[in-house]
C-alpha cells in the first residue's frame, strides 16, 4: 500500500530533504561569508535557510530513524572529485535545488505551505547560484581577470563620504560604471558634518565593495592599503605623496591593481617603471576636489596619449560639456567625481558619459 500524505515515510522524506536543503545553504552561506566577504549573499542564504527552518516541524524530526535508513552513510566517488570552490559551490547549490524539488512534490498533500515555500526558494536559488559562481571565479582568476576588466573600463567614478553614497554608486553601476574608487581623506567628514573615523570608513568601503562585486565592477581604495586589505578591494590608488608602489605591491600581492596620480611626463615614466597598472592624468581643469592644484591642461593629456604603455584616465573637472575636447586630445578613458555624484540622475549621467566615450566622443 503506498504511503499516505501524513505517513511516517513521507514525514521522514520531508525531514531528510529539509536537512539536506538547510545544510547545503549553510555551505553556500559560509563560503559567501568567510571567503567572498559578501554580506549580501550571506543574507540571502540565511533568509532561505531560516524560512525552511520555520517549516521544519517537530513531527518530521520525530519520524527520523537513521538506523533503519538503507542509504545512511552512502557516498559517491564524485564527492571526492570536488577540488576547488566552484565545484563545492555548484554541488551544494544543486543539492539544495534537488531537495527543494522533493519538498515541493511531496509537501503538496502534507503541508501546502512547505511546498509553496520550497518552490519560491528554488527559483530564487537559481539566481543566487549564478552570483556565487561569478564571485568565486573572479576571486580565483585574480590579477589577470582584474587587468582584463581594467582594460575594458573607460569611465572611472571616484567618490567618498556623502549623503546617499550607496544609492548614488548603485545608480552609477546600473548606468554602466565598472571601476569605482573610494576616496576618504584624513579631513573627510560624514554626511552630518562630523569628522569621519576609520570605523565609518570601513563600513562605507565594505558596503561599496559588496555593491561593486554584485555588479562585476572593480573596487579601488584611495591611499589606504590597510582599508583595501580589510575589505578585499581590487587595488589601491596612490598619490605622489603616498607610499611607493613597490611597497604597496609587496603588501597587496601581484594580483591587486595599483594606480598612480601623475602630473607630468616624468611621473608617468616612473609609474610605468614601478609596475603600476594604470595612471591618472591631471588635473586637466581646476577642480574643488584638488583645491590649490594647478591644472595641467590638455597638453599633458596629449603627451601621455602618445607615450603611455598602460591605461590612463584623464581627470579633473571633466563632464559632458568638455568631454569632447579631452577625447580630441587623445584620452579614451576619464575619471570623474561630480559629473556623476552631483548629477540629478547618476545612472543617466554615467550612461551618457560612457556612451560618448565608447563612441570616441
Catalytic residue positions, numbered: 183, 261, 290
Burial 214-251 (b: 16+ CB within 10 A, else e): beebbbbbbbbbebbebbbbbbbbbbeebeebeebbee
Residue 245 makes CB contacts below 8 A (sequence gap 6+) with 238, 258, 260, 271, 274, 275, 276
Of 335, 263, 319, whose CA–CA distance to 296 is shortest?
263
**How many CB atoms sit inside 10 A of residue 281's CB?**
31
The DSSP output letter for 258 is: E
DSSP string, 208-225: HHHHHHHTT-EEEEES-H
Q: What are phi and psi of 50, to 5 degrees?
A: -70, -35
Cβ distance 313 to 278 under 8 Å?
Answer: yes
Of 131, 92, 61, whose CA–CA distance to 100 is shortest?
92
Q: How far apart are CA 103 and CA 117, in angstroms?
A: 9
DSSP strand pairing (218-222 vs 235-238): parallel
Of 21, 87, 89, 77, whose CA–CA distance to 50 is shortest?
21
Of 221, 273, 218, whose CA–CA distance to 245 is shortest?
273
The DSSP output letter for 196 is: P
Longest dimension (CA), the chain: 89
Q: What are phi and psi of 221, to 5 degrees?
A: -110, 135
Amino acid at each position: 500500500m503506498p504511503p499516505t500524505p501524513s505517513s511516517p515515510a513521507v514525514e521522514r522524506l520531508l525531514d531528510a530533504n529539509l536537512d539536506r536543503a538547510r545544510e547545503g545553504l549553510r555551505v553556500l552561506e559560509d563560503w559567501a561569508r568567510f571567503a567572498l566577504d559578501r554580506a549580501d549573499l550571506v543574507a540571502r542564504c540565511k533568509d532561505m535557510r531560516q524560512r525552511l527552518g520555520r517549516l521544519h516541524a517537530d513531527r518530521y524530526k520525530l519520524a527520523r530513524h537513521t538506523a533503519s535508513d538503507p542509504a545512511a552513510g552512502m557516498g559517491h566517488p564524485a564527492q571526492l572529485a570536488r577540488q576547488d570552490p566552484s565545484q563545492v559551490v555548484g554541488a551544494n547549490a544543486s543539492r539544495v535545488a534537488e531537495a527543494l524539488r522533493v519538498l515541493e512534490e511531496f509537501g503538496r498533500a502534507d503541508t501546502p505551505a512547505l511546498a509553496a515555500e520550497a518552490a519560491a526558494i528554488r527559483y530564487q536559488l537559481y539566481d543566487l547560484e549564478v552570483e556565487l559562481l561569478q564571485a568565486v571565479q573572479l576571486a580565483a582568476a585574480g590579477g589577470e581577470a582584474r587587468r582584463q576588466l581594467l582594460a575594458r573600463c573607460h569611465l572611472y567614478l571616484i567618490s567618498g563620504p556623502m549623503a546617499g553614497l550607496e544609492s548614488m554608486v548603485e545608480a552609477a553601476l546600473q548606468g554602466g560604471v565598472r571601476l569605482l574608487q573610494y576616496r576618504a581623506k584624513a579631513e573627510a567628514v560624514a554626511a552630518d558634518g562630523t569628522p569621519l573615523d576609520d570605523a565609518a570608513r570601513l563600513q562605507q568601503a565594505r558596503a561599496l565593495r559588496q555593491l561593486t562585486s554584485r555588479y562585476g565592477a572593480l573596487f579601488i581604495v584611495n591611499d589606504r592599503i590597510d582599508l583595501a586589505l580589510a575589505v578585499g578591494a581590487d587595488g589601491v590608488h596612490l598619490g605622489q605623496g603616498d607610499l611607493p608602489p613597490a611597497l604597496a605591491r609587496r603588501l597587496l600581492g601581484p594580483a591587486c591593481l595599483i594606480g598612480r596620480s601623475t602630473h607630468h611626463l616624468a611621473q608617468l615614466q616612473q609609474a610605468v617603471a614601478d609596475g603600476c597598472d594604470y595612471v591618472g592624468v591631471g588635473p586637466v581643469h581646476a577642480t574643488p576636489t584638488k583645491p590649490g592644484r594647478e591644472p595641467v591642461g590638455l597638453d599633458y593629456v596629449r603627451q601621455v596619449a602618445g607615450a603611455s604603455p598602460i591605461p590612463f584616465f584623464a581627470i579633473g573637472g571633466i563632464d559632458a560639456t568638455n568631454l569632447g575636447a579631452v577625447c580630441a586630445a587623445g584620452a579614451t578613458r576619464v575619471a570623474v567625481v561630480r559629473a556623476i555624484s552631483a548629477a540629478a540622475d547618476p545612472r543617466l549621467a554615467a550612461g551618457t558619459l560612457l556612451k560618448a566615450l565608447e563612441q570616441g566622443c
